[in-house]
Structures are given as C-alpha cells and as structure tokens.
Amino acid sequence: MLDGFEPWPDEFAQKYRELGYWNGEPLDAAMRRYGLTFANATAVIDRFGEWTYADLDHEIDHYAAGLSSFGIKDRDRVIVQLPNRVEFVVVMFALLRIGAIPVFALPAHRTTEIVHFAECTDAVAYVIPDVADEFDYRDLARTVRNQTDKLANVLVLGDPAEFTSLESLRQEPTSHAPTDPGDVAVLLMSGGTTGLPKFVARTHDDWSYSGRATAESSSYDTTTRHMVCLPLGHNWTLTHGLMATFHAGGTLVLGESPDPGTAFKLVEKHGVTDTGLVPGIALAWVEMAPYATEDLSSLRRVVIGGTKLAAELARRVEPALGCQLHQAFGMAEGLCGFQSGDDDLETRINAQGRPVSPADEIRVVSEAGDEVARGEVGQLLTRGPYTVRGYYRGGQHNVNSFTTDGFYRTGDLIRHLPNGQVVFEGRVKDQINRGGEKIAAEEVENLLLAHPAVLEVALVGIADEVLGECSCAYVVARDDAPRQAELARFLNEQGVAAFKIPDLVRVIDALPRTAIGKVDKKTLRSSAPEKATA
C-alpha cells in the first residue's frame, strides 16, 4: 500500500466489495478488457488521428514496456502535464500498467505548482509536451529542476531538447506484475484551501467505480461520443469524460480548446453526443450558437458543472444548443452527482444533480455540527465508496477536513432536496472558484506577502458574470501602493498558474477584522471594489 494513503476501514472496504462497488479490477486490466471487447470501435480521436480500443491497448503495452525499461518502477510517482492528446491517455494507462502512479498537473500550472507537486509526491519523472499553446514546457522543466532535486527524468512529447524523447521509449511489449486494485492508482490535485494544494490518492477500486457509476447515471453506451475540451487532468474530465466513455465502449473526442469556434467544428466533424462545460464556457456556447454554421444536432446532452450555473443562463442552454442540459457537481476527493433525462426541466435548471452511488452518504450540518432539516442549508459532509478518508500525506490537515467517523467536510453549503438533488448555495471554505478553477486564498496571499510593498493582503472572490467569481486582492501597502500590473508581474515571475493572478487589486488602509481579530472576508466580499489600481 502506498505510504501516506489513508485506507477505508476494513468493514467499509468489505461492504463495498460485497456490494460490487469495488470490483477488484485494476484500471489497466479494465483497459485490456476494453481492448478485447470493443476491439474495433473507435476509442479516441484527437487532432492527429483516431485509435481503436485494440490500437490503444497495443500502444499502452508498447509504452508500458518502454517506461519500465527506462527505469520507472511500481509505486513511482510521475507528473503528467500533457495537453488533450491521445498520448495523455496512453501515458496514463502505461504508467498504471507498470504500477506507477500518475500525478496530474494542468497545462496552466507553472514553476510554483510543479515544484510543489514534485516535493509533495517525491515524483521521479515529469512528462510534458515540447511546446503547447505557444508555451515551451521544456523551459518550465528547466526552471523546475533548478528548484527541486526530485524530477530525475523529464520525458518530452515532441522535440526533447536535452531531455528524453517520450516517443523514443516505445518498445516491444513485455509482461508486468499485476497491479493491486486496492492500492493507489492516481494522485489528483485537490482544489484546496490551505497554503498549497493537497493531493487526493484514488485507488483503482474506488476511482474505477466512480467512472462506472457516472457512465450508468449518464446512460452512456457504445454510441456515446464524449468530447473533452476542458483540461483532461481534472477529476471531472477524467471520470465523466475518459473513464465513463471507455466503460461504455464509446468514443472519447479530445479537443484542445473549449472555444465555440474550435469546439463546434469538432461536434459536427465527429458527431459529438456529450460534453462537459463550466458555466463561463457554456455562456460562450449559448451566445455563439445562433451564429454557428456548424451542425450541432448530434448533441444529446451538455453537462455543466465545476461552479454554480446561474438559473438565467441554465434556461438558455436547451433552446440555444438544441439538446438537454444536465447539471453536475463533483470534487477530486470523490463525491460527484449528475442529472438524468428523468429529471424535469425546472430541476435541471435549479439543482446541480444527484450523487451517483446509492452508497453515497450525505449529511448536511449547521455551523455547530448538527444535522439540519432536509432541504435546509448547511455544510455538506460525505462519505462513500469513492470518497477518500484522508488526503495523501495529509497529517494534521486530515483532522480538520474529515470527521472522526470518516466524513469529508466539503466546505460547500448545500441544500439536499427531498428528491435527492443537491443545490449549491455557497461555501464555508476560503477558496475562490474562478470559472471552475479553484484558488486557495491562502496560497496566493502567501505569495503576495513576499512582495516588498505588501504589508497585509486578503484575497476574496467577487461576483463575475462570466466566471461566476473572480479574485480581488485587498492590499495594505507598506509604503508606496503597489500597482496591479506590478503584482501580476511579481506572481508571474514566481511562476504561478495565470488563473491565480488577482483579477482586481484594491489598496486599503487596514483590513477589517472580526471581534476575535480574524480578517473579516465577509465584509470585504460585500464591498465590491470601486476600481482596480492598474
């Protein structure tokens, strides 16, 4: 068992196995089975080609052999920061096949995040493209390697420069020891609320169940053509997109941009039936659809989640796109929920979905920790067959994030309706949800405090029409007030994902405090900025 992983107590593990939620089939073995069952069906389409399930399994075998003889071993952690291309899928399953553990990074992550990922997971290798979206990931690898002695190997898709070519590793398949379905398969980044992101260790058994349950709740079958146009490295895109589609024998269409100009063409070209969008992208689709020359009639469902979808926008989705709107919610820690064709229109507009497993346990509690009446607002606590019992190497943090009886404190305020649907009402966690990308306020505050002109800072989310929320840094200056552009440059130089750079900066004389001296973010949130200092 991977060190630092918090297993489920035996009685729960046994129950989940008996009830068939955990089927004891490692993910790489499931892929082998798909390669036989759906052999000639198209598994993946990307910008460069199409692969059948048999092709895909074959490629995975070649790369598994290559990665293994290169020296990647069972339980080794490997950071994967690839764009939405077939190689993402091949590398992920090749690592799983040799017992190694992919750690997924997003294309937007930069030095600070990758160094943290490497240090926190002791990763031995880092897989990147040469250049993607006009950004040279080899430069990023160079900077990262100057700051950590972890990533001994950098594998590059494309021109490797001084590093190792990923493609050159491909070799004749060999056999590998079977993987343990109860052990950790992947490490996912949590949205997080503390200084730096925590990792969520998902086992083959639990993560695979999450994909299967999603496929079932979404009624996927061999005719499903699911397009992933958001980054694949998120739990949502990996479970609802990749795993659910493969489980059903459907086709995964990989798009490199969710912009309607690009995505609509893929919908028409590949007859896409399903996709997942965040509300900001959904708005762009709804606005552009009336002018689209592409045929979007293959779409059956557009699933929207990641951050709260406003009812006004929700109402526009079906008429504009000519398909059903299903809302969804989820978290890297596990619990996820979807809507189905059986839900009526008003439910699909006003609620966010129903947990996918009958074994998902939901508690909604008041600030004092007491359960509230059904339908009342409270914090969502959850446990179940695919919700983790602790963060990877979580230590003390686990004491705050999980109850003693194993419920994960999500930090989300919800209402649990009598019909089982969950309605998101807000958050108690100090996190900003910027169009689905999560920003831990404390992480950015710590980075900004290193700027010589910043004496104190508080980062809060403020309403934004497109993103749902954007970030505003309230700064108390030491002397001369720092300008927004200067702070943005400073954060860029430290190498942080662009989505974490404050959208607005407001300089104030003092941060408001609560009676016990904590920064009063509620007051800051309610006083929307008059103007940025840029």
**Residue 437 to residue 390: CA distance in whole angstroms:** 22
| Tokens linked to 299 | 């779409």
Which region, judged by CB under 6 A, interacts with ligand AMP, from 300-308, 354-362, 483-491, 499-507? 300-308
| Min dist. Cβ of residue 235 to ligand AMP (A) | 6
Which region, judged by CB under 6 A, interacts with ligand AMP, from 41-49, 172-180, 330-338, 369-377? 330-338
**Residue 98 to residue 62: CA distance in whole angstroms:** 11
| Tokens linked to 51 | 């692969």
Closer to ligand AMP at the Cβ: 26 or 191?
191
Which region, judged by CB under 6 A, interacts with ligand AMP, from 150-158, 264-272, 304-312, 369-377? 304-312
Asked whether position 194 contacts ligand AMP by CB under 6 A, the answer is no
**Residue 534 to residue 532: CA distance in whole angstroms:** 6
Handedness of CA 53, 58, 64, 70 (dihedral sign): negative
Asked whether position 26 contacts ligand AMP by CB under 6 A, the answer is no
Selected binder of ligand AMP within 83, 99, 102, 305 (CB under 6 A):
305
**Residue 453 to residue 451: CA distance in whole angstroms:** 6
> Measuring CA to CA, which residue among 219, 262, 280 is closest to residue 435?
280
Kindly state the number of chain residues that form the binding site for ligand AMP, as judged by CB under 6 A.
20
Closer to ligand AMP at the Cβ: 5 or 424?
424
> Measuring CA to CA, which residue among 180, 215, 184 is closest to residue 3?
184
Selected binder of ligand AMP within 332, 351, 381, 473 (CB under 6 A):
332
Q: E-strand spans in 82-183?
A: 101-104, 125-129, 131-132, 135-136, 153-157, 164-165
Angular region, 375: left φ>0, alpha ψ -120 to 50, beta rest: left
Which region, judged by CB under 6 A, interacts with ligand AMP, from 106-114, 144-152, 301-309, 492-500? 301-309
Closer to ligand AMP at the Cβ: 282 or 332?
332
Binding string, residues 107-146; x marks residues near ligand AMP by CB under 6 A: ----------------------------------------
| Min dist. Cβ of residue 305 to ligand AMP (A) | 4
Residue written as token pair 């992919």: 102
**Residue 4 to residue 290: CA distance in whole angstroms:** 51
Cross-strand partners of 325: 302
Asked whether position 81 contacts ligand AMP by CB under 6 A, the answer is no
Asked whether position 394 contacts ligand AMP by CB under 6 A, the answer is no
Selected binder of ligand AMP within 190, 224, 251, 339 (CB under 6 A):
190
| Min dist. Cβ of residue 216 to ligand AMP (A) | 20
| Min dist. Cβ of residue 337 to ligand AMP (A) | 8
Q: State in Å, rounded, how far the first CA of the chain is from the last one.
A: 51
Asked whether position 235 contacts ligand AMP by CB under 6 A, the answer is yes
Binding string, residues 89-108; x marks residues near ligand AMP by CB under 6 A: --------------------
Which region, judged by CB under 6 A, interacts with ligand AMP, from 22-30, 71-79, 90-98, 323-331? 323-331
Selected binder of ligand AMP within 99, 107, 181, 191 (CB under 6 A):
191
Which region, judged by CB under 6 A, interacts with ligand AMP, from 162-170, 286-294, 322-330, 474-482? 322-330
Asked whether position 484 contacts ligand AMP by CB under 6 A, the answer is no
| Min dist. Cβ of residue 468 to ligand AMP (A) | 8
Closer to ligand AMP at the Cβ: 42 or 324?
324
Backbone angles phi, psi at 55, to 5 degrees: -60, -45
* Cβ-contact 197, 116 below 8 angstroms: yes
Quickly list DSSP for 294-354. S--TT--EEEE-SSPPPHHHHHHHHHHHSSEEEEEEEETTEEEEE--TTS-HHHHHH---E
* Cβ-contact 232, 91 below 8 angstroms: no
| Min dist. Cβ of residue 75 to ligand AMP (A) | 24
> Cα separations (Å) of 346 from 90, 326, 349, 352, 355?
41, 11, 5, 11, 18
Asked whether position 424 contacts ligand AMP by CB under 6 A, the answer is yes
Q: Provide the 3-class DSSP secondary structure of residue 183.
A: coil
Q: Which residues bind ligand AMP (CB under 6 A)?
A: 190-191, 235-236, 305-308, 327, 329-332, 352, 410, 412, 424, 427, 433, 438
